[in-house]
Structure 1
Amino acid sequence: MTNDSIRLFVAAALPEGIKQNLLTRLTAFTHPAIRFVPSANLHLTLYFIGNVSQDQLPGISEKIKTITQQHLAFILSLERLEPGPTARTPRLVWARFNVSRLFEQLQHDLATALAPKPPEKQKAIPHVTLARYRKSEKHIPAFAPVLPPEQLLLPVNEVSLWQSELASPHPVYSILDSWPLLQNPGPANKV
């Protein structure tokens, strides 16, 4: 990465209460091979942009702003905490949320607008990365999914452009700008 480039992604910030709720549930995955993500870094990823030149920042911001003006706010429901992206070869522990049409549409539109080439048709899985497996560990026990004892809802009311600065032991994330999603005047939008 050169000095004039920055590493960016689009995500929704999590309310503090939801962060604490998820981290409390994460204790079921305590193991020396698993490194928890700091609370400040928890977010719902919508699209990873990657390294771009700083002079691209205004155009990226304008595209995100335009997209947010076309999408309704929505609510996600926690499905489970589990190793992923596959149980066979896990690299992380994530909080998976139930599939949402509004999430998928927003994620697709962001990918279409921001990808350097047309995005592959992959199913977007709404999730929050809670922990990462240490690459050096060879013997990691299998962990069973943790189902929520009660419903946990994540409201997604705005979208933010985040910068990621690689550091040790964790990257440092900062929000560069945020845009509200359209508010639904009707009942909670859980579709």
Structure 2
Amino acid sequence: MRAFVGFFTTKGIYEHVEKLKEETKSYLKGKWVEPQNMHMTFQFLGDISQSQAVSVLKNLQSIAEKHAPFKVQYRSLGVFPDRRRPRILWVGVSRGENRLKRLANEVAQLNKKAGIRVDAKPFHPHVTVCRIKEADRKKLGSLMNRYRNFNFGEETVDRIALISSSLTSIGPIYTVVEEFYFRRESS
């Protein structure tokens, strides 16, 4: 199974992405992420076996039991790998960034202990909104400057999931294998 650990974002962010799509149609060509597919990835696992999936699920349950729900604020636009070679357009995070980084680190540490390959690249909290095929870099840079402090919305992160990813000719199909809700804060 091809899989990753993460969570799906709420649909609220997509209203703003639709406006971006319209605004950039003359100078950015690419594959925009469908609303139901918008997510944040803590760790891409690649192809994993059934026994590895079981280990990941145990790890996620353990992580979820130790965390409370928290708010994230989506803000700003960026590209990977850089402005000279933009391939991925993403929405970043301001509020909640450290909590997301801590979660990603816990996922990586536990999965590494279980013998699952861990990406060496540092985790950068973001939601991919477009896979860029070609773009006018100057106009794209101007867009990112205009959206540097733009508020794309807020949501409560209250779960973590193992998500399978099937690549098809019409795009990826994501399926939640199992998700674990964070412990509720005591009132």
> Under TM normalisation by the shorter chain, which class is it?
0.7 to 0.9
1:44-59 matched pairs, under 5 angstroms = 44-59=40-55
**AA partner of residue 176 (structure 1):** V
Out of 16, 20, 24, the position equivalent to 2:11 is: 16
* TM-score relative to the length of structure 1: 0.80
Aligned-partner Cα distance in 2 for 1:23–1:69:
36
Aligned-partner Cα distance in 1 for 2:55–2:32:
34
**Which structure: greater strand fraction?**
2
Q: How big is each residue's C-alpha offset from its partner over 1:50-103, in whole Å with a ceiling of 9 and x where there is no partner?
A: 101123322221111111111232211122123323212211110111262211
Runs of 4+ in 1 over 6 A off after TM superposition: none
Question: What secondary structure sits across from 2:127 in the alignment?
Answer: strand
- In structure 2, do the counterparts of structure 1 residues 166 and 35 end up closer, same or farther at CA, with 3 Å as the change threshold? same
Q: How big is each residue's C-alpha offset from its partner over 1:91-140, in whole Å with a ceiling of 9 and x where there is no partner?
A: 111011126221111000001112335663x5422110001012xx4xx2
Q: CA RMSD in A?
A: 2.3
Q: Equivalent residue for 2:110? A: 113
2:101 aligned with 1:100, yes or no? no
1:28-177 matched pairs, under 5 angstroms = 28-30=23-25, 31=27, 33-98=29-94, 100-115=97-112, 116=116, 120=120, 122-134=121-133, 137=134, 140-142=135-137, 143=140, 144=142, 145=144, 146-147=147-148, 149-150=150-151, 152-177=153-178
- In structure 2, do the counterparts of structure 1 residues 78 and 17 end up closer, same or farther at CA, with 3 Å as the change threshold? closer
- In structure 2, do the counterparts of structure 1 residues 43 and 96 end up closer, same or farther at CA, with 3 Å as the change threshold? same
CA contact (8 A) 2:75 2:150 kept: no
Q: Which stretch shows the higher mean deviation, 106-115 or 142-151?
A: 142-151
Q: Which stretch shows the higher mean deviation, 88-97 or 150-159?
A: 150-159
* TM-score relative to the length of structure 2: 0.82
CA contact (8 A) 2:43 2:119 kept: no
Q: Number of aligned pairs?
A: 176
- Report the identity percentage: 22
**Which structure: greater helix fraction?**
2
Question: What secondary structure sits across from 1:81 in the alignment?
Answer: strand
CA contact (8 A) 1:81 1:94 kept: yes
Unaligned runs of 5+ in 2: none
- In structure 2, do the counterparts of structure 1 residues 126 and 24 end up closer, same or farther at CA, with 3 Å as the change threshold? same
**AA partner of residue 15 (structure 1):** T
- In structure 2, do the counterparts of structure 1 residues 23 and 66 end up closer, same or farther at CA, with 3 Å as the change threshold? farther
Aligned-partner Cα distance in 1 for 2:170–2:87:
16
